Amino acid sequence: MSRAHPPANPADNYDSPWKEAIEHYFPEFMAFYFPDASVALDWSKKYTFLDNELRAIFPEAEVSNRVVDKLVQVELLQGTETWLYIHIEVQSTKRSDFARRMFVYNYRIFDKYDKPVASFAILADRDRQWRPNSWGFAFAGSKHTLEFSIVKLIDYEPKIDELLTLDNAFGLLTAAHLLTQQTRQNNNERFNAKLRLIRLLYERQWERTRIVELLRVIDWFLELPKELRQKLKAEINRMEEQQKMTYVTSFERDAKEEGFVQGKEIGVVEGRVEVARKLMASGFSAEQAASIADVPVTLLQSS
C-alpha cells in the first residue's frame, strides 16, 4: 500500500527570491553563471537596474510563465563602447515563443538606447532537452539573428552538495531553487531541505546583513505550511541559542498574517494589500500581485 504524500505547494514563489537575489548580488550572479561576461565588466564603476525603462520598452509583455527579467546598464573595462546594456531573463517554464521574445527584447532595447545589448537567460524549468539560444530570420541574402547565452539550472542538480560549499551566494540559491522543485510534492522533505540550508548559512562566516538577506530569499523559495513554519522557527531558535546569535528573518510574516502587527506597520501592510487587490482586479494572479506589492499571498487568498 503506497503512502500518500503531504499536500503539494501549488504556488511556489520563484519571482520574489530571484528578483531580490539578482538585485542584491548582481556581480556574483554574473560571475557564477556567466563568468566570461563578468570579467569584461568594470565592477569598480556603478551599474544601474532599469526595470521601469524595461517595462516601458515592452509594455505588452505577458507576466505569466516566467520568473523575472532585468535590464542593467554596466560599464566595460575596455573597448570603443563604454556602456553596455545587459538583458537578463529567468524563465520558469518551457515556452515555444521564448527565443523570439529574447530577440524582440534585444532589438527594442538597442533601438531605445543605440548601444550594444547582451542577452542572457536562466532556464529554470525541468525539461532537460529544452535549450533555446537563438532566434532569427533570413530571406534572399538578408539575415537577422540573435544568439544569446543560456544556463540550465537542472544541469546543476547532480552537484547540489558541491554548490553548498561555494562562497558565491548563487551556489546556495541555485541549490535552493532545485530543492524547491524537488520537494514540491512533499512538505516533510522540504522542511528538511530548508533546515539544512539554514543550518549551513548559520555556519558561514559571512557578515550579518548577507546572512539575513539570504535567509529571506531561502524562506521565499521553500514555502512551507504554517505548522511546519512554526516547527522550523523553533529549530532556528534552538540554533541561535546554541550559537549565541540572532538573525531577523521573514518568519515575522506569521505575525502579520494573524493580525499581530502594531500601529503604523498595520497601515503599511493594509496599503500594500489594497495595491495587490487592484492589481488582481486588473488581471494579475494572486501570486503576481503579492510579489509586486510585497505582501504574503495568504493575505490575498483569505480576503
Look at residue 147 in the predicted model and tell me its pLDDT: 97
75 pLDDT exceeds 60? yes
182 assigned to some structural domain: no
Strand 117-123 and strand 149-152: the pairing is: parallel
Residues 276-294, mean pLDDT to the nearest whole number: 72
Residues 151-178, mean pLDDT to the nearest whole number: 96
Q: Tell me the pLDDT band of 237, cut-offs 50, 70 and 90.
A: confident
143 assigned to some structural domain: yes
Look at residue 99 in the predicted model and tell me its pLDDT: 96
4 assigned to some structural domain: no
231 assigned to some structural domain: no
162 assigned to some structural domain: no
Q: Name, of 11-15, 193-197, 228-232, 253-257, the range with top average pLDDT.
A: 193-197
150 assigned to some structural domain: yes
Look at residue 11 in the predicted model and tell me its pLDDT: 54
Q: Mean pLDDT for the chain?
A: 83
How far is it, in rounded angstroms, from Cα 135 to Cα 144?
9
Q: Tell me the pLDDT band of 5, cut-offs 50, 70 and 90.
A: very low
Look at residue 273 in the predicted model and tell me its pLDDT: 77
**Per-residue pLDDT tens over the stretch 10-50:** 456 667 789 889 999 999 999 999 999 999 999 999 999 99
Q: Which is higher by pLDDT, 280 or 200?
A: 200
Q: Which is higher by pLDDT, 159 or 281?
A: 159
33 assigned to some structural domain: yes
**Per-residue pLDDT tens over the stretch 204-234:** 888 888 988 898 899 889 999 989 988 998 8
Look at residue 165 in the predicted model and tell me its pLDDT: 95
260 pLDDT exceeds 90? no
257 assigned to some structural domain: no
Backbone φ, ψ for residue 168 (5° rounding): -75, 135
Look at residue 95 in the predicted model and tell me its pLDDT: 92
Q: Which domain holds residue 62?
A: 15-154
- The domain tally of the chain equals 1
83 pLDDT exceeds 90? no
Look at residue 64 in the predicted model and tell me its pLDDT: 46
261 pLDDT exceeds 50? no
